[in-house]
């Protein structure tokens, strides 16, 4: 089926996102597993200290460090969830506008780079030709976590449409001036 709009791939605008280092993943897993253990051991050490100053200090240090690690992990999880939810909202609104046939509203959600490459009339013509697909029920298939590069922050969301034949719409978004905007869309037969 090919791209919904004659846009070059996202890699034209930004370098390929860096892969998450394995060591970083291992460190996060260890922190998730060991922070609660350290907290419990610190509390037990404090309870059993009975007058020993060194044991009390060790227990307090263990409780404080473990609490800080737990708080940091909670903040990291909240940040990861909130960073993708804004993009999902924009992508959901974009697909909803396409389904309702509100092409100007969908086009307004695209980035200036997209609009410079694809005039609204060309976008209107392409969306109108794919109307049967876009008007069918859909659901979100996947959402990639935002990736920051030296050029910007990007994310990728894929929707499945229950059309015949089954179709998928990949929506790539970029965060510009604090707002998520659609930079690339691709309609395809497989995800």
Q: Where are the domains of the chain?
A: 10-188
What does the pLDDT read at residue 3? Answer: 45
* Alpha carbon distance 187, 169 (integer Å): 5
pLDDT beyond 70 at 112: yes
Burial of residue 18 (number of CB atoms within 10 Å: 0-12, 13-18, 19+): exposed
Q: Which CATH architecture has domain 10-188?
A: Roll (3.10)
More confident residue, 86 or 23: 86
What does the pLDDT read at residue 164? Answer: 60
More confident residue, 22 or 58: 58
What does the pLDDT read at residue 14? Answer: 39
Average pLDDT over residues 48-56: 76
What does the pLDDT read at residue 17? Answer: 41
Orientation angle between helical segments 22-48 and 53-100, nearest 10 degrees: 140
């Amino acid at each position: 089926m090919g791209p919904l709009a004659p846009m070059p791939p996202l890699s034209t605008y930004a370098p390929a996102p860096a892969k998450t280092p394995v060591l970083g993943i291992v460190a996060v897993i260890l922190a998730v597993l060991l922070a609660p253990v350290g907290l419990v051991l610190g509390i037990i050490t404090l309870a059993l200290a009975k007058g020993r100053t060194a044991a009390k200090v060790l227990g307090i240090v263990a409780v404080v460090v473990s609490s800080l690690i737990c708080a940091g992990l909670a903040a990291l999880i909240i940040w990861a969830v909130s960073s993708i939810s804004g993009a999902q909202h924009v992508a959901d609104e974009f697909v909803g506008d396409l389904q309702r046939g509100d092409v100007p509203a969908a086009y307004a959600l695209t980035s200036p780079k997209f609009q410079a490459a694809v005039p609204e009339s060309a976008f209107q013509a392409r969306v109108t030709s794919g109307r049967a697909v876009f008007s069918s029920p859909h659901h979100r298939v996947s959402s990639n976590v935002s990736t920051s590069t030296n050029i910007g922050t990007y994310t990728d969301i894929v929707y499945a449409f229950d059309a015949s034949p089954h179709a998928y719409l990949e929506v790539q978004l970029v965060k510009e001036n604090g707002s998520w905007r659609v930079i690339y869309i691709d309609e395809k037969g497989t995800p």
